[in-house]
Structure formats: structure tokens, C-alpha cells
């Protein structure tokens, strides 16, 4: 119990809210999945009786479509008309083209057609003209389920305005292997209870917006070393180990309306078949359906992925996926072969029409709720849904990054006392727009700016600031204080986070020289915290998790004590990386306590604003103008 209190007690949203969330959503939604109303039952049965055998098979199939062309894809239109496929999964493109094309595809379908998208961080995951919401790792660091629910609802509203009915999220994988090549930053964290709480909150948000949530990737993809897009991962764990980690989150998500099966072999669940879970009846039909009693829709992961497609040829692959327990075949690449093989199975007695009808009922029931009677925009897709919004998405995102910001002290390092005089250097390492963060720092302090990209010129030209200097190293080491901003190019560990090894080696050598000369440093990390294993710095780090403006604002505010850095690292470091320690409570990284005189002559003490550099102009005069997001300044009256 002491351990539980340590993990959860300090955060109301992730602690007590978890219990309430599990009851309110996990149990309440399970009743909703299991108990359709009479109108729904009548429509489902009437529609089912009207469907031919070919039309029923079509309901099991979803095909990909791209929002890039000016005209509808003739092949997709043909599949809708000839095979009457039941849904489309939208891939890369632009919002305007999607909204235009969507209407053509809906008109080509005789029956309700559902639209889906992989939108873990909003529609921006697929559409390049949409604003990106925070990654799951960032949301996990903020440890606020109420905020995560609000963010997911905002994502759901965005998807609804685009005509989507399904979002393939939340990711319920426990990131127990932080060097996993395919999950990583897509997971809420490395603790099953935290992941469950966050996944429930995320699902509630989508459902409030009228979008169907889908927990993935059953039974858990967070401890693999192979990307199932490119090969077939194998998970060698005992059933007891699975129950305590991977399976524990999915058992808590049985109330969700749908789940997605993973393309990975789990020997403890495969009954000797040596097949991925997505093709394995023992895992889906056996464990998930019969033992756990799951009543929702089961989607296969995309069947074009190598983790599945290398097991069987087209046609046989889709039949095996249905036989295993999937209801919907996602991303079918050869619809004619798939339909032909399923019809053959029915005619040969390998499968019964009653078993087919059971799957189609689940699909039609979901369509009744999310397509026919779901929360719709007043005038169809493209129009804003009229809902009560407490905060716009931009402010929700700012709040998320403020709460996620995490302060670390590698090897117990302590930030040295700062002097009010002397030169300072802001060293931006990488980044496409490094001056964005520097400009925010300029609201508080003056510092010379140097941008050193990951690739390009071997050495940046800094001689204009120091005429007559002999080398870049000698110039930089003249600054007694550095703020080092690390702009990490990629979130994916499989790419080395996009960090160039040769440039890293050069920077590490330079920093060692600077430390030897007594230069004091603090580091701002804009990217995946795994970058620490490559940076290998020794000073205090403020991790903002992503390379984007909201992260810059949060990091700079915390740097000067204008806000807290309450985030907690949402992943476990492996035994080989014990050099990272996070304190339970952080004082402001750069400290000062100025006494300010306002217009009424009352002295106020801003006990969080902390640094011996020039105070922002709006505070010097007692002005009420605030930099956006500084509502977290803490002040108190000072009688002296």
C-alpha cells in the first residue's frame, strides 16, 4: 500500500480518478456494449435479413483510401459497388480533399458505410494540414486523466467534423521496453495501472465526441524488439508475466466498443500454433471472447503489414483472420480473393452462416450507434459540432505541456547558484525553428544565440560576435553560463531518434572542454526522453517531450520559475541506464526572488519567478499584461 501511495497519492487525477473512471467507464460501457436497445436490435435484425451472403461478407472488410487525389479512386468505387465493402480507413492526405472525396464514396455504398482513421494524436497523424495534438507519452507524463479526456474529446470532435466514425485508439500497450521500435512514444507509459487509467480517459473523450474508440494492440505490443510493420515479433513470456503486465490493461478495457488484435506471436497464448495473435483462435476466440466474455467488435491490425502478410497469401490470410476471431478485416489488399475464399469456406462447410451473422450483427450494432445515431455535425461533415467547450484545444495543449514538463538531475547534479552579471549563451542544437524557443527566453533574459544544426556546415560561423577569435571552442568557452536546447529530430528510437552520431561526438567533446573551464549549463530537451541515453549530459535537464511551440513555452517558463515542472517520466529506464534520477519535488531551476513595486505601492513577492536576469517588462511596471500561459505565477502579499 505504501508503494501504491507513492505512485498515485501525489496526483489526484491519476489516483482516485482512476478508480472512479474504471467504474464509470469500464463497467458502464460494458453494459452499453452488452445491452442494445430495442430500436437497435430491430434495425440490426431487419438489415441482416435483407443482406445477401456476398453483402454480409462485404461488411467484414475495410479498405484503405487516400485523401490526396482530386477525384474519387475508381478502384475503391468499384469495391464499394461490386463487393459492397463495409468501411474505409483513411490514410495520408489533406482535409479538403477528404471531405470532397468522402461524399462520392458514401453515395457509392448501398448500406451505411463507416469511416475510420488512425488518429492517435489527432487527424494530423494522417492529414498534413491539421494541428497535431500531444503524443501519448506526453499525456502520460502529465498524469492528469481529466485533461487527457478533454484532449481526446477535442480530437474526437475534429474527427467527427471530418466525417469519421472510428478512431483506432487508445494505444493500451505498456511501454515496458523503452527501446521498442514501434510503440515507444505512442504509449502512455510503463506502468500498467497508469496506462489503463489514461486509456480509459482517452476512450471516454472519444466517446463523448461520438467517435468509437478502439483499444490496441491486444494482447500488448510494448515489449517487442521487432516492428510488426516489417516482420513478425515474438513475445516469450509466461502467462503469469502477461497477466501482471500486458493483459492487465486490456482486461480493464473490456467495456470499450472495440479492440484491435496485434501481429505478434505470444507463445503463452498460441496453444502451439506458432501464429500471430491476429491469426490465432486460442488468443482471440478463446481468451478474449470465451474466457473474458468480450462482446465488442474486434478489428485485425492492418493486414498489409509483414507481421501478418508473410504468414499466408491473400485470400487465405483474410479467412484465417476471421477464423481466429476478428470481426473486421482491416486494410485488405485483394478484396476479390478474400471474398472468394470466405465464400468457399461457407460452401465447403468450414464455416457456418450463423457464425458469419454473429460477426455482422456486432458490426451493424456499432454502425447503428456511431453512423446512424451518432453525434453528427449540424450540416454534415465539415461543420463544427455544437458542444459546450470549457477550453479550446490550443489551451488544452498548453496545459498538457505545462503539466508534462519533467525536471531531471542526472547523477544527483545540483544547479549551481547564478550570478546576476556575466555573458550567457543560448546554444540551439538542431531544430527547424530554433529561434522560436530562444525568443521566448528573451522575454526573461538576454543571451547570445547560436544555432548548430544536426547536419550541414561542420562549424557554425560565430566570429561576428567575437572578432579576432581563433576557434569556435575558444569563443564558446568564454561564456560562463549556457542554456543548451536539444531539438531531437525524431521520436522513433529505431532511427536513433534522428540524432547524427558524428555531430553528437563533436558536441560532447565541446561540452567536456567547457565543463573543465567551469562553464555552468542547463539543458532543455525538446523530444523523446530516450535522447538522454545519447546526449549523456551531466547537468539538470528540463524535458518537454516534443519539439513544438507549446513545449518551448512550458520549458522556458519553468526555467525561470514562472511555472512548476510537475511531470513524471512515463517510462522505466533499463538497468544499463541508471544514470538518470528524478527528484520528487523540484525548486525552480534558475532562482531569484525579486521584490516588485506595483502601481499602488504594495510590494509583492513572486516566489516562483526565479533568476537574476532582467525581469519581463510587463512585471516591471506592475502592468496586468500577461504572457500567454503565465496564469500559473504564484504571488503573495509582502508586508515589508
Q: Give catalytic residue positions.
A: 229, 301
Cell 496545459 maps to which residue? 399
Cell 485470400 maps to which residue? 315
The full DSSP string for 487-547 is E-S-S-GGGGGG--HHHHHHHHHHHHHHHHTT-EEEEEEES-GGGHHHH---S-EEE-SSS
Q: How many CB atoms lie within 10 A of CB 100?
A: 16
Question: Would you state the cell numbers that stand for residue 352, as one nine-digit string?
Answer: 457456418
Question: Would you state the cell numbers that stand for residue 111, as one nine-digit string?
Answer: 448500406
- CA–CA–CA angle 289, 359, 28 (5° rounding): 55
Could you give the CA distance from residue 199 to residue 252 in angstroms, rounded to a whole number? 10
CB distance 283 to 219 below 8 Å = yes
Q: Inter-axis angle of helices 393-404 and 145-161, to 10 degrees?
A: 150
Q: Inter-axis angle of helices 145-161 and 192-208, to 10 degrees?
A: 40
Reference 563, options 513, 635, 514, 621; nearest CA is: 635
Question: Would you state the cell numbers that stand for residue 356, as one nine-digit string?
Answer: 458469419
Phi first, then psi: give them for residue 64, nearest 5 degrees. -80, 150
Q: 503 to each of 378, 422, 453, 499, how far by Cα in Å?
A: 53, 28, 9, 8
Amino acid at each position: 500500500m505504501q508503494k501504491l501511495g507513492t505512485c498515485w497519492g501525489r496526483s489526484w487525477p491519476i489516483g482516485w480518478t482512476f478508480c472512479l473512471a474504471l467504474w464509470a467507464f469500464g463497467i458502464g460501457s460494458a453494459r452499453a456494449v452488452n445491452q442494445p436497445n430495442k430500436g437497435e436490435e430491430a434495425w440490426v435484425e431487419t438489415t441482416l435479413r435483407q443482406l445477401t451472403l456476398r453483402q454480409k461478407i462485404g461488411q467484414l472488410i475495410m479498405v484503405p483510401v487516400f485523401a490526396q487525389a482530386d477525384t474519387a479512386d475508381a478502384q475503391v468505387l468499384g469495391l464499394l459497388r461490386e463487393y459492397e465493402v463495409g468501411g474505409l480507413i483513411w490514410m495520408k492526405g489533406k482535409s479538403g480533399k477528404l471531405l470532397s472525396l468522402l461524399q462520392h464514396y458514401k453515395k457509392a455504398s448501398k448500406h451505411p458505410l463507416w469511416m475510420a482513421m488512425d488518429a492517435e494524436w489527432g487527424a494530423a497523424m494522417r492529414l498534413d494540414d491539421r494541428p497535431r495534438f500531444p503524443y501519448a507519452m506526453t499525456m502520460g507524463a502529465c498524469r492528469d486523466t481529466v485533461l487527457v479526456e478533454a484532449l481526446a474529446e477535442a480530437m474526437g470532435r475534429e474527427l467527427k467534423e471530418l466525417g469519421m466514425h472510428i478512431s483506432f485508439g487508445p494505444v493500451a500497450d505498456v511501454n515496458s521496453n523503452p527501446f521498442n521500435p514501434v510503440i515507444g512514444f505512442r504509449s502512455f507509459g510503463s506502468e500498467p495501472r497508469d496506462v489503463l487509467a489514461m486509456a480509459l480517459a482517452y476512450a471516454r473523450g472519444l466517446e463523448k465526441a461520438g467517435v468509437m474508440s478502439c483499444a490496441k494492440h491486444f494482447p500488448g505490443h510494448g515489449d517487442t524488439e521487432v516492428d510488426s510493420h516489417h516482420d513478425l515479433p515474438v513475445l516469450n513470456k509466461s502467462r503469469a508475466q502477461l497477466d501482471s503486465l500486458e493483459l492487465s490493461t486490456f482486461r480493464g478495457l473490456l467495456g470499450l466498443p472495440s479492440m484491435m488484435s496485434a501481429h505478434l506471436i505470444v507463445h503463452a497464448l498460441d496453444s502451439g500454433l506458432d501464429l500471430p495473435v491476429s491469426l490465432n483462435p486460442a488468443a482471440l476466440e478463446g481468451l478474449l471472447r470465451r474466457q473474458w466474455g468480450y462482446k465488442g467488435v474486434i478489428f485485425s491490425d492492418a493486414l498489409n503489414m509483414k507481421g501478418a502478410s508473410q504468414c499466408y497469401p491473400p485470400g487465405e490470410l483474410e479467412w484465417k483472420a476471421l477464423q481466429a476471431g476478428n470481426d473486421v478485416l482491416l486494410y485488405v489488399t485483394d478484396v476479390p480473393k478474400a471474398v472468394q475464399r470466405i465464400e468457399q469456406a461457407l460452401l465447403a462447410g468450414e464455416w457456418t452462416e450463423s457464425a458469419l451473422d454473429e460477426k455482422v450483427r456486432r458490426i451493424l450494432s456499432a454502425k447503428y450507434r456511431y453512423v446512424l445515431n451518432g453525434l453528427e455535425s449540424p450540416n454534415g461533415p465539415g461543420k463544427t459540432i455544437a458542444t459546450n467547450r470549457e477550453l479550446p484545444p490550443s489551451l488544452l495543449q498548453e496545459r498538457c505541456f505545462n503539466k508534462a514538463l519533467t525536471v531531471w538531475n542526472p547523477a544527483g547534479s545540483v544547479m549551481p547558484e547564478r550570478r546576476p552579471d556575466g555573458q550567457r549563451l543560448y546554444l540551439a542544437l538542431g531544430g527547424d525553428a530554433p529561434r522560436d524557443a530562444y525568443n521566448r527566453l528573451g522575454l526573461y533574459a538576454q543571451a547570445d544565440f547560436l544555432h548548430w544544426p544536426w547536419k550541414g556546415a561542420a562549424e557554425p560561423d560565430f566570429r561576428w560576435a567575437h572578432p579576432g577569435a581563433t576557434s569556435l571552442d575558444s569563443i564558446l568557452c568564454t561564456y560562463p553560463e549556457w542554456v543548451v536546447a536539444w531539438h531531437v529530430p525524431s521520436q522513433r528510437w529505431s532511427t536513433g531518434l534522428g540524432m547524427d552520431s558524428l555531430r553528437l561526438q563533436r558536441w560532447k567533446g565541446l561540452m567536456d572542454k567547457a565543463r573543465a573551464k567551469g562553464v555552468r549549463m542547463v539543458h532543455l530537451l525538446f523530444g523523446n526522453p530516450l535522447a538522454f541515453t545519447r546526449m549523456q549530459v551531466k547537468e539538470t535537464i528540463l524535458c518537454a517531450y516534443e519539439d513544438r511551440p507549446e513545449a518551448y513555452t512550458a520549458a522556458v517558463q519553468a526555467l525561470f520559475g514562472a511555472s512548476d515542472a510537475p511531470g513524471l517520466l512515463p517510462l522505466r529506464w533499463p538497468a544499463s541506464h541508471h544514470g538518470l534520477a528524478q527528484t520528487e519535488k523540484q525548486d525552480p531551476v534558475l532562482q531569484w526572488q525579486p521584490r516588485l513595486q506595483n502601481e499602488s505601492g504594495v510590494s509583492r513577492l513572486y516566489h516562483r519567478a526565479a533568476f537574476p536576469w532582467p525581469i519581463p517588462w510587463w512585471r516591471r511596471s506592475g502592468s496586468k499584461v500577461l504572457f500567454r500561459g503565465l496564469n500559473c505565477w504564484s504571488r503573495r502579499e509582502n508586508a515589508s
